[in-house]
Structure 1
Amino acid sequence: MGTKVNFPSTDHLPQTPLLVVDRAALTRNLARMQALCDAAGVRLRAHGKTHKCSTLGRLIIEGGAVGLCCQTVGEAEAYVAGGITDVLVTAPVPPWGPARLAALAKTGATVGVVADDEGQIDRLSDAAVAAGVILDLVVDLDLGTHRAGAYPKGALKLARAADAAPGLRFAGIQAYLGHLQHMDDLALRQTADEAAHATLKALVAELTAAGLAPPVVTGGGTGTHAYDLASGVYTELQAGSYAVMDVEYDACGGPDGDWTFEPALFIASTVVSANHKSHVTVDAGFKAVSMDGPPARVVAGAAPGSLWRPMGDEHGMIAHPALIDVLKAGGRDPLGFDRAVAAADADPDRATPLDAPKVGDLVWLQPGHCDPTINLYDALHVWDGEKLERWPVDGRRVSL
């Protein structure tokens, strides 16, 4: 994945830290995935949990996707309010969720939801009947992630329950293999994914023989998209991160080795302090960069090889590559870091690097993990090379 971006200048940015999307890269990513799905004869139902932005969701659908996946009831509500009329909630919902999904279907939207036990099916059926609507019910399968889903041996029983339940339409089966998406060993990733496809094909045959041929087989992801599209078993692809990408996907490699998609999501940060030889301090810390994946990558505004590391809620450091040994000397001990930085500052043989960023300079970061980083912001600021357009992240969690 390259990072050839014409980043906006400070004149175009209302503040920092700011989440900025390179529109040209985003557009190419969306077109590439849609073309791959079209060529494979597989519908794209892009996962909205990545961006949580109905403006972006509409753009994906305008490009040919059949609808969006949602991970939560709140995301589904935000997307329907934002003009998206076909959503699938891809995780089992809490007991308070069925009534809200039924209310959503009453607006005229096509609303699907997964279930992995009969109690969930009963609650969804009751809510749908009470609202006078039909919900699409997809049986959720666990093929190794062990987060949610029923084992394949229980799928037929659940499909029969869904098919018999009033207010529900048995819509198919779901298999998302989250545990494979960032697997570094590409050969093992492919082998494991193809083994899951064999299990799915056998299950489809079992359901078909029982008179319950699944209308939809939905799942897959960015990290396995090439294998998923070639499998011949999926009818829908649920990839999401391909739209913007991140350091974690870059590090694990694409399913074909080289990524088809490119970085499109960046964090603009500003240098607010530059009193040390080893590093400068920017205004992007834990509240601006999710840390559940690899650290954010410095992609512009600092010397090649510079590292970003968190320095608290509001701040991060940009460590110069020539003085990264200072960080290593300090280790994880705050007092050790203190001593190492102070020693470097006092060392007359160490000079402040001439190419170190100055106070007020912009430093651009690529997030380590796109989904939770986007969730920290209330908007995507989309840069087309001339102006910024604000797209609200309207699918973030909202408390009623």
Structure 2
Amino acid sequence: MQDVVAFLANVKPPITPALVIRRAAFAANLALMQGECAAKGVRLRAHGKMHKSSRIAAEQLARGAVGLCCQTVGEAEAYVAGGVPDVLVTAPVPPWGWPRLAALAAAARVGAVMDSAAQAQAASAAAVAAGVVLDAYVDVDPGMGRAGVAPAGAPALVQAIVALPGLRWAGIQAYCGHHQHMLPAERAAAHAAWTRRLRALLADLRSAGLAPGQVTGGGTGTAAMDLAAGVYTELQAGSYALMDVEYGDLGDLPFQPALFLAASVVSARHDSHVTCDAGHKALHPNGPPQRVVWPVGSQYRPAGDEHGAILPPNGAAEGDLVWLQPGHVDPTVALHDAYFVADEDGRLERWPIDARRTTT
């Protein structure tokens, strides 16, 4: 591949602000992660909450992913409608969501995590009413404090699931989201400590005759350690496909930046900066600052809902395109309805972002 600045010089999206995927880097990232998983005999269930696109999901499935993770019921519905045959909802399901997941199970294999007997009972009732079976995963809290049962409480919840109709005891989820963006040494120590606890839980489940079919979890930041540990049977990495500033700045991940945002310079009335048409509605402020890729050496500063400042201009003039790398990919993608996928010569293909939140 050519230098990233030379590549971006060839790309002319028809509208700005626009999310642009560098096809070659994206393909290389998918091949690398799939190859690492295959080498360790671990299933890749790529997380769709990052890209929110059934077209990207199709690329991941074509390379060997067994299915997709979803963070919401709506994402699961969009991915099944887009042809994904196996989805797992990896966050707590609200009460209204269980009948909708059960309806999906008539067209695809559908799983969900749960951390209480009440959730299991609601899932069971919805599955029985729909005449389907849902895959049930016990969500184990590795210390995030967001959701999940404490490891000591997992066996009792598994027993409750096994006793309910309409549910298939499928495994446990152990996702360490709080480890993903730690610096390398701290991340390795935290991962090792959690792996010891996870091994002990799995031993307890096996001794009780409740061995999980799958141990699913992990992520882009811990992927190498997840695969090396020999505990996870399924990896839930997502951001590896496109990357962002937050993951790139860790310094030890092998994946390439594949997602950029194009913005147009709409005002150049100041010597200190130029103003572009990408503000908070195009670049989510969560995470580290957006990185300016071109003009080289400049910085980005939000300047309102619709605008941002590029300072100093470093050669950017009114009408020029400026290029940024998103600080945090997931919430930025949720602000857009499509990607423009670019070849090295600048040819573009539009891919819908069809798994964003809707109210239907």
Query: What per-residue deviation string (whole Å, max 9, x for no partner) do you get for residues 287-315 of structure 1?
Result: 01010111110012x1x220001000000
1:217–1:233 contact (8 Å) kept in structure 2: yes
Give the CA deviation at 1:7: 1.6
Report the counterpart of residue 361 of structure 1 in structure 2.
320
Written as runs of structure 1 = structure 2, the 5 A alignment for 1:108-257 is 109-184=108-183, 186-254=184-252
Written as runs of structure 1 = structure 2, the 5 A alignment for 1:278-357 is 278-300=272-294, 302=295, 304-320=296-312, 355-357=314-316
TM-score w.r.t. structure 2 length? 0.97
Work out the CA distance in 2 between the residues paired with 1:4 and 1:203: 46
Give the counterpart letter for 1:247 in structure 2: V
Work out the CA distance in 2 between the residues paired with 1:235 and 1:123: 27
1:380–1:393 contact (8 Å) kept in structure 2: yes
Work out the CA distance in 2 between the residues paired with 1:246 and 1:222: 11
Secondary structure of 1:252 counterpart? coil
Work out the CA distance in 2 between the residues paired with 1:145 and 1:31: 30
Query: What per-residue deviation string (whole Å, max 9, x for no partner) do you get for residues 35-76 of structure 1?
Result: 110111111000000000000001101101100000000000
1:392 to 346, 349, 352: 352
Instruction: Give unmatched runs, 5+ long, in structure 2.
Output: none
Work out the CA distance in 2 between the residues paired with 1:135 and 1:387: 43
Instruction: Give unmatched runs, 5+ long, in structure 1.
Output: 321-352
1:8–1:383 contact (8 Å) kept in structure 2: no
Give the CA deviation at 1:253: 2.7
Output the aligned Cα RMSD: 1.2
Work out the CA distance in 2 between the residues paired with 1:165 and 1:309: 54
Give the counterpart letter for 2:357 in structure 1: R
Report the counterpart of residue 378 of structure 1 in structure 2.
337
Report the counterpart of residue 91 of structure 1 in structure 2.
91
Give the CA deviation at 1:8: 5.5
2:264 to 267, 270, 274: 270
- Residue 227 to residue 284, structure 1, CA distance change in 2 (3 Å): same
Give the counterpart letter for 1:232 in structure 2: G
Structure number with bigger Rg: 1
Give the CA deviation at 1:275: 0.8
Q: Which moved more, 1:191-200 or 1:211-220?
A: 191-200
TM-score w.r.t. structure 1 length? 0.87
Work out the CA distance in 1 between the residues paired with 2:3 and 2:59: 23
Give the counterpart letter for 1:208 in structure 2: R
Give the CA deviation at 1:3: 6.7
2:265–2:320 contact (8 Å) kept in structure 1: yes
Work out the CA distance in 2 between the residues paired with 1:155 and 1:47: 24
- Residue 375 to residue 3, structure 1, CA distance change in 2 (3 Å): farther
Query: What per-residue deviation string (whole Å, max 9, x for no partner) do you get for residues 246-301 of structure 1?
Result: 001112233xxxx210000000001000111110000000001010111110012x
Query: What per-residue deviation string (whole Å, max 9, x for no partner) do you get for residues 88-109 of structure 1?
Result: 00011000011000000012x0
Aligned length: 357
2:112–2:134 contact (8 Å) kept in structure 1: yes
Written as runs of structure 1 = structure 2, the 5 A alignment for 1:11-50 is 12-50=12-50
Query: What per-residue deviation string (whole Å, max 9, x for no partner) do you get for residues 127-180 of structure 1?
Result: 000000000000001011111111000000111111111000000000110111
Work out the CA distance in 2 between the residues paired with 1:194 and 1:67: 27
Work out the CA distance in 2 between the residues paired with 1:164 and 1:59: 38
Indicate the percent of aligned positions where both proteins have the same amino acid.
61
